[in-house]
């Protein structure tokens, strides 16, 4: 990669230092793609490459549903998927839906949430929007810097007479402190829901995630560990809640010509359920790939000063869907965003989930302009976290290369940062 003699290649500045020849296969800073070198990968490497089960079984199911001419509205595949998920998670009810955002809206409405609901800001925007969409105020609570999940002590401080519930998020598939949150909810008479969008296939205290709180919501979006193209589900042991959600996801119809509730269209299609049924059969393979990637990343980045990663509890079931680094700029002398820019230039499309935090996005930043003052850990994390490509998009070779680039950028942190700053000054001289 370093010594490309192609005359049509853009002229590159001379390497600053060659002492690290071979690191990242780059030979020198100037050969990083951000500074004009050729990218390490010709095709982009994505964070959320979909896990797809056996293609022939999927196509067989699609042919079958086309033959049956039953495409949606609680079809046979949706019902089969719901029963299989109930068994897998160990809950009484699974209500499949078109995506997790609608599922969160329906679950929170069916659970009777109103007024204020306590949620983390360190989450995907859907957790907050599902409330605000219904004119319920999301009250942003800080997270524990170690777990990245809601800090129960801070939850308790935010309860007011208007609070009706808490939505915890099992970020990266790692469980919230369910005992503490269940205790608060019980003592304070609050509903407790979990946004388990990341946590399908994960367990906590030996029980599958999905069985905690009043209800839990999974996302089956294409980028998730287990996907139905788009999709989601609410799982619960509460018969009444499940019955309400079944009505709500189907406009409130209790039978032909009989609407007994306000509802919406939250139904999952048959083709989505076919994808889900097929994926369920291959979950163990998805976990194996994710786990191997996670371990390879850990091996390759071990001992890199200022770079730590979130760990999964090996005594529990984990889906290992996210490989998440934290960059401590004081040690690396190069910020998370600079590392991200270096990676993107190399065609490694890492992501900085959940930057900048829900509280810094609209409409919340206008509603609560000073929310950040109460969210110091969230603010800190949103500047440090970097999510790396995994899943079937990458294997050991790609991971080794990605890690070499990160190691190289960190080992020359101050220099790389300076060069990036100079470059952006040249590009945007007025700023
Ligand atoms: N709660 C939480 C905690 C969540 O994380 C999410 C969703 C939700 C609720 C709501 O669930 P859903 O309503 O979506 O069921 C992605 C996903 O779109 C989103 O589902 C997910 N969280 C979030 C964390 O990540 P973006 O904006 O980053 O998506 P996008 O299009 O940039 O895709 C991410 C990467 O995946 C890209 O590098 C491209 C690649 N990709 C994506 C798709 C869709 C593929 O390679 N193939 C694909 O088909 O939000």
pLDDT, tens digit, 9 for 90 and up, residues 340-351: 999 999 999 999
**In the prediction, which pLDDT does 182 show?**
98
**In the prediction, which pLDDT does 268 show?**
98
Query: Does residue 353's CB lie within 6 angstroms of at least one atom of ligand 1?
Result: yes
Strands (DSSP E) along 132-185, which ranges?
A: 137-141, 163-169
| Answer CATH for 18-49+282-350+389-427 from 3.40.50.720, 1.25.40.10, 3.90.1150.10, 3.30.420.40 | 3.90.1150.10
**In the prediction, which pLDDT does 161 show?**
98
With the most atoms of ligand 1 within 8 angstroms of its CB, the residue from 43, 127, 221 to mutate is: 221
- Residue 86, helix vs strand vs coil: helix
Q: In this model, does residue 410 exceed pLDDT 70?
A: yes
Q: What is the pLDDT of residues 46-74, one digit of tens each?
A: 998 899 999 999 999 999 999 999 999 99
Residues 404-419, mean pLDDT to the nearest whole number: 94
Query: Does residue 221's CB lie within 6 angstroms of at least one atom of ligand 1?
Result: yes
Q: In this model, does residue 264 exceed pLDDT 90?
A: yes
Phi, psi of 327 (to 5 degrees): -105, 120
Percentage, residues of the chain above pLDDT 90: 89
Q: In this model, does residue 11 exceed pLDDT 60?
A: no
Determine the Cα–Cα distance for residues 361 and 101; give it in Å rounded to an integer.
17
- Cα of 428 from ligand 1 centre, angstroms: 31
Q: Which atom of ligand 1 is nearest to the CA of 101?
A: 13
Residue 18 and residue 27 in contact, taking contact as beta carbons nearer than 8 Å? yes
Query: Does residue 99's CB lie within 6 angstroms of at least one atom of ligand 1?
Result: yes
Close Cβ partners of 20 (under 8 Å, ≥ 6 residues apart) = 28, 408, 411, 412
Query: Does residue 223's CB lie within 6 angstroms of at least one atom of ligand 1?
Result: yes
Residues 295-308, mean pLDDT to the nearest whole number: 96
With the most atoms of ligand 1 within 8 angstroms of its CB, the residue from 223, 279, 378, 386 to mutate is: 223
Q: What is the pLDDT of residues 92-111, one digit of tens each?
A: 999 999 999 999 999 999 99
Q: Give which of 96, 65, 66 is closest to 230, Cα–Cα.
A: 96
| Alpha-carbon distances, residue 346 vs 234, 327, 380, 389 (angstroms) | 39, 19, 26, 13
Q: In this model, does residue 352 exceed pLDDT 70?
A: yes
Q: What is the pLDDT of residues 197-247, one digit of tens each?
A: 999 999 999 999 999 999 999 999 999 999 999 999 999 999 999 999 999
Topology annotation, domain 55-281: 3.40.640
Query: Does residue 349's CB lie within 6 angstroms of at least one atom of ligand 1?
Result: yes
114-118, 127-131, 420-424, range with the lowest pLDDT: 420-424
List, by residue range, all CATH 3.90.1150.10 domains of the chain.
Answer: 18-49+282-350+389-427
- Cα of 6 from ligand 1 centre, angstroms: 38
List, by residue range, all CATH 3.40.640.10 domains of the chain.
Answer: 55-281
Close Cβ partners of 172 (under 8 Å, ≥ 6 residues apart) = 148, 198, 310, 321, 322, 324
Q: Which atom of ligand 1 is nearest to the CA of 48?
A: 36
**In the prediction, which pLDDT does 425 show?**
73
For ligand 1, atom 7, name the residue with the nearest CA. Answer: 124
Q: What's the chain's average pLDDT?
A: 92
**In the prediction, which pLDDT does 424 show?**
79
Q: Which atom of ligand 1 is nearest to the CA of 102?
A: 13
Determine the Cα–Cα distance for residues 183 and 155; give it in Å rounded to an integer.
12
Q: What is the largest CA-CA distance in the chain?
A: 77
For residues 329 and 428, the model is more confident at 329
């Amino acid at each position: 990669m370093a010594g490309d003699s192609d005359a049509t290649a853009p002229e590159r500045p001379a390497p600053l230092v060659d002492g690290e020849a071979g690191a990242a296969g780059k030979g020198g800073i100037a050969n990083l793609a951000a500074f004009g070198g050729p990218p390490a990968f010709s095709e982009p490497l994505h964070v959320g490459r979909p896990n797809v089960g056996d293609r022939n079984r999927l196509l067989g199911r699609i042919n079958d549903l086309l033959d049956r001419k039953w495409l949606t509205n609680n079809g046979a595949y949706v019902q089969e998927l719901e029963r299989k998920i109930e068994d897998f998670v160990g809950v009484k009810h699974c209500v499949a839906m078109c995506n997790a955002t609608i599922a969160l809206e329906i679950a929170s409405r069916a659970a009777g949430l109103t007024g204020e609901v306590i949620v983390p800001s360190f989450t995907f925007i859907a957790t907050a929007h599902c409330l605000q969409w219904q004119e319920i105020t999301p009250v942003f609570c800080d997270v524990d810097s170690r777990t990245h999940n809601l800090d129960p002590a801070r939850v308790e401080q935010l309860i007011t007479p208007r609070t009706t519930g808490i939505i915890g998020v099992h970020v990266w598939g790692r469980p919230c402190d369910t005992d503490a949150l269940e205790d608060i909810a019980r003592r304070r008479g609050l509903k407790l829901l979990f946004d388990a969008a990341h946590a399908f296939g994960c367990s906590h205290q030996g029980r599958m995630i999905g069985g905690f709180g009043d209800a839990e919501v999974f996302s089956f979006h294409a980028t998730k560990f287990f996907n139905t193209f788009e999709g989601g589900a609410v799982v619960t042991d509460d018969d009444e809640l499940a019955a309400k959600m079944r009505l709500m996801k189907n406009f409130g119809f209790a039978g032909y010509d009989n609407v007994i509730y306000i509802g919406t269209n939250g139904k999952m299609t048959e083709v989505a359920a076919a994808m889900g049924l097929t994926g369920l059969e291959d979950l163990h393979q998805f976990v194996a790939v994710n786990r191997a990637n996670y371990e390879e990343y850990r091996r390759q980045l071990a001992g890199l000063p200022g770079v730590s990663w979130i760990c999964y509890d090996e005594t529990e079931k984990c889906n290992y869907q996210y490989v998440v680094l934290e960059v401590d700029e004081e040690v690396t002398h190069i910020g998370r965003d600079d590392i991200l820019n270096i990676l993107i230039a190399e065609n490694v499309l890492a992501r900085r989930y959940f930057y900048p935090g829900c509280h810094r996005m609209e409409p919340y930043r206008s509603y609560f302009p000073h929310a950040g003052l109460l969210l110091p850990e969230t603010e800190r994390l949103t500047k440090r976290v970097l999510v790396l490509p995994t899943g079937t998009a990458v294997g050991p070779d790609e991971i080794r290369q990605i890690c070499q680039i990160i190691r190289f950028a960190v080992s020359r942190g101050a220099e790389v940062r300076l060069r990036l700053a100079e470059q952006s000054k040249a590009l945007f001289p007025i700023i």
